[in-house]
Structure 1
Amino acid sequence: MNLENKLSRQLSGIPRSGIRDFFELVIGRSDVISLGVGEPDKATPWPIREAAIRSLEKGQTSYTSNLGLESLRVGISGYVEEHFGVSYDPKKEILVTVGVSEALDLAFRAVLDPGDEVIFHQPCYVSYGPTITMAYGVGVPINTRLEDNFTLRAEDVEKAITPRTKVIALNFPTNPTGAVEPPEELEKIAALCVKYDLLCFTDEIYSELLYDQAKHVSIVSFPGMRERTVLLHGFSKAFAMTGWRLGYACAPPVLLEAMMKIHQYCMLCAPITSQIAAIEALKLGATAYEPMRQSYEERRNFVVKRLNEMGLNCFNPGGAFYVFPDVSCTGLTGREFALQLLEEHSVAVVPGEAFGPSGATCVRCCYATAPDLLVKAMDAMEIFVKKHRK
């Protein structure tokens, strides 16, 4: 039997994750300094872990409501109002999901019909294009540019809008570049959503991790946006809870109900232990993530300085915990650079092409890594760049 002939045609053009493919190369190698996988180097804060342990000791191991624990949704509602400046009804406008990735998948599947177009910006997180495709939509990527600090320009968005456009998808601060969208551009994009009657899905998982005393601004806070926006957020990055797999979506009742229908059949509910831990995370708030944020800012300053000193063109990202230097001065593509750096110096970075064709001359480095290892990684990279620089 030819099993390949039995596979869905919808999957035929979808590649494996470029991040995970590269990560496979370093598994089991104790000599590698990894700047590859995007997760905090810290364990989940102890009070959050302790809340989960207590729940297990009490035997709290049941299903929850499809929407998630009501106490968690109440906590999310308060947190979102404080952090994003918009209020949501915890009973019918908040859905707890298995990570933001599930929430994004639900949102696309809830609204897209075959042929509907979704505008999104590249370089972008690896799942955006494939998730749109798997929902039978058509992705319309807009390349952002290093000279614009990888921000998305409203004029480029408007040029991409067609009669088939249904959604504009945003991710700021951005993985992999760390770009933060200027409020004035966000306001223009919001106006386009209203003008062309478009939905907006905004993934703001890195919104707590901003630098240089910047304050987060969400597109959902602009006039006319709450009624057409799905706000996606979660606990993985700010609260160092990547393995807990917990996210959430905030949206108008009609959109949220459609997402919940899919969620209840494919996932049922998020794990109760993770939900209980998340309640404690929300109680801690900034006291949990502010020390990590400050540490990331110091590491960002160090890494950006070193990369530019060694001759790589690297802008100073305003958020998240990534840098995205252009390595073309070495005469290597991002993929060649990453493979040879791993081979010659045992330092792992991710080829920029994993995040879209516009990243082909870049690599992504995650600086959520121990400071002493960052020093060693930058020293090794400097030697490598000097050797290969054209």
Structure 2
Amino acid sequence: MFKLAARAQQLSPSPTLAVDARAKELQQRGEKVINFGAGEPDFDTPEHIKEAARRAIDEGYTKYTPVAGLWLLRQAISEKLYRDNGLSYTPEEIVVSCGAKHSLYNALQVLLNPGDEAIIPVPYWTSYPEQVKLAGGKPVLVPALESDGFKLSSENLQAAITPRTRVLILNSPGNPTGAVYRRQELERLAEVALAADLWIISDEIYEKLIYDGEEHVSIASLAPEIKERTVVVNGVSKAYAMTGWRIGYAAANREVVKAMVNLQSHSTSNPTAVAQMAALAALTGPQEPVEEMRCSFQRRRDLIWQGLNSLPGVRCSRPAGAFYVFPDVSQLLGGRLGGRQVTTAADLALALLDEARVAVVAGAAFGDDRYLRFSYALGEEDLIEGLQRLRAWLLAATGGG
């Protein structure tokens, strides 16, 4: 009898992509769905980046590149990390991969041995536990409480460490909560991590999308000894509306990067050459489109945050970064809504899609089923219409309208 490998059987499909696929299926049938599910900017890739890709094709950038990525791109990443984050990495300490997700996967593959533990703050991005399991590791899920701004406290980190703990995964600004760690918070976490001899994987893919005067601080920038134990992961997907181009990168000490390059040489080889040239244009070209997008996201953040907090049974913290809100809907769970049983946030998400044609992702996908995740990476008109649909459905379902 045919049997899949154990590592394949223990994986779950991405719930965020599943919701997006279901919403798009309804849209293809001619129905208008307001899709708060997808985690990608609705903006087009800036024109100068697309033009760089067209020029790259004309100039013959259609062959293999070094596995670690084009030297010119790694040099541009090196300059970006110094300019924006105060981090000094040579091009030899940088590896370019097929998206930040690929960079995270490579890092966990080379850092974890079977049975090693990786601490993941909850709520978490859906792929972190699955990637840890793929590396043979054990995800250790540690609450990052809403009362702490959805940020892991040093006390909770310390309590979770065992002799098998090897990695701490941090994501700031965070998905799904939009939480942004401040310098002092990172310093306390770094102190605990260093004392336990942990590796830190710092996912900074949303670093350009920060609001209210908050500052992005890379934990690797705090001290040389922390930098030596950190893998910084970033990419061009979110800041430059380049999700489909699939270019991410990691920066770390040479030993770790060499291992990641060796691994990549036997999986994907190099990232797409044309996409690398587009990423080079993104990092070295005009940055005004990034700021325009950030300002637009901040306006949308304010709209959706205020709108959700006006709904019956919904309470929403204001995120400081990324393009997600993570409202608490626990008051709506455990009974009947609109004639159907709504026990979990997943039940509520399904009801909203079926009856209000509003797509959201249930919090269970991120480790906490009291919440829903809304992406506000959609146009303001759709955002407002989505809130109106939610209000109408909830008022009818709760007997308030």
TM-score, length basis structure 2: 0.93
Distance 2:285 2:185 in 1: 32
Structure 2 match to 1:13:
10
Distance 1:173 1:205 in 2: 8
Structure 1 match to 2:202:
202
Q: 1:329 to 1:385 in 2, by over 3 A?
A: farther
Structure 1 match to 2:274:
273
Which of 313, 316, 319 in structure 1 is aligned with 2:321? 319
Distance 2:160 2:26 in 1: 44
Instruction: Give 1:21 deviation, angstroms.
Output: 2.2
Answer whether contact 1:296 1:321 (CA < 8 A) is retained.
Answer: yes
Distance 2:124 2:191 in 1: 23
Distance 1:165 1:196 in 2: 8
Answer whether contact 2:35 2:358 (CA < 8 A) is retained.
Answer: yes
Distance 1:227 1:13 in 2: 33
Answer whether contact 2:323 2:377 (CA < 8 A) is retained.
Answer: yes
Aligned-pair Cα RMSD in Å: 1.2
Structure 2 match to 1:109:
109
Paired residue secondary structure (2:140): strand
2:384 maps to 1:380: no
Distance 2:386 2:288 in 1: 30
Q: Deviations over 1:143-196 (max 9, x none)?
A: 222222211111100000011111111111111111112321210111112111
Structure 1 range deviating more: 186-195 or 315-324: 186-195
Instruction: Give 1:11 deviation, angstroms.
Output: 2.5
Paired residue secondary structure (2:25): coil
Answer whether contact 1:329 1:389 (CA < 8 A) is retained.
Answer: no
Instruction: Give 1:378 deviation, angstroms.
Output: 0.4
Instruction: Give 1:20 deviation, angstroms.
Output: 2.0
Structure 2 match to 1:88:
89
Structure 1 match to 2:364:
353
One-letter code of the match for 1:350? V
Answer whether contact 1:151 1:182 (CA < 8 A) is retained.
Answer: no
Structure 1 range deviating more: 203-212 or 285-294: 285-294
Distance 2:110 2:320 in 1: 32
Structure 1 range deviating more: 240-249 or 27-36: 27-36
Paired residue secondary structure (1:193): helix
Paired residue secondary structure (2:96): strand
Instruction: Give 1:233 deviation, angstroms.
Output: 0.3
Q: Deviations over 1:66-110 (max 9, x none)?
A: 1111011110001011111111011x2000000011111111111
Structure 1 match to 2:132:
132
2:342 maps to 1:340: no
Query: How many pairs align?
Result: 384
Q: Deviations over 1:256-305 (max 9, x none)?
A: 10111101110110000110001110113532310000000000001000
Instruction: Give 1:389 deviation, angstroms.
Output: 4.0
Distance 2:329 2:222 in 1: 37
Answer whether contact 2:38 2:375 (CA < 8 A) is retained.
Answer: yes
Structure 1 match to 2:226:
225
Distance 2:17 2:56 in 1: 33
Distance 2:17 2:282 in 1: 28
Paired residue secondary structure (2:228): helix
Answer whether contact 1:281 1:288 (CA < 8 A) is retained.
Answer: no
Structure 2 match to 1:236:
237
Structure 2 match to 1:263:
264
Answer whether contact 2:190 2:226 (CA < 8 A) is retained.
Answer: yes
Distance 2:172 2:345 in 1: 23
Structure 1 stretches lacking a partner, 5+ long: none
> Where does 1:282-321 land on structure 2 (aligned, <5 Å)?
282-284=283-285, 286-311=287-312, 312-321=314-323
Instruction: Give 1:388 deviation, angstroms.
Output: 3.4
Answer whether contact 2:107 2:260 (CA < 8 A) is retained.
Answer: yes
Q: Among the aligned pairs, what percent are the same residue?
A: 39
Answer whether contact 2:182 2:216 (CA < 8 A) is retained.
Answer: no
Paired residue secondary structure (1:27): helix
Paired residue secondary structure (1:62): coil
Instruction: Give 1:343 deviation, angstroms.
Output: 1.0
Distance 2:378 2:304 in 1: 11
> Where does 1:48-197 land on structure 2 (aligned, <5 Å)?
48-90=49-91, 92-197=92-197
One-letter code of the match for 2:56? S
Distance 2:17 2:294 in 1: 25
One-letter code of the match for 1:301? D
One-letter code of the match for 1:183? R
TM-score, length basis structure 1: 0.96
Structure 2 stretches lacking a partner, 5+ long: 334-341
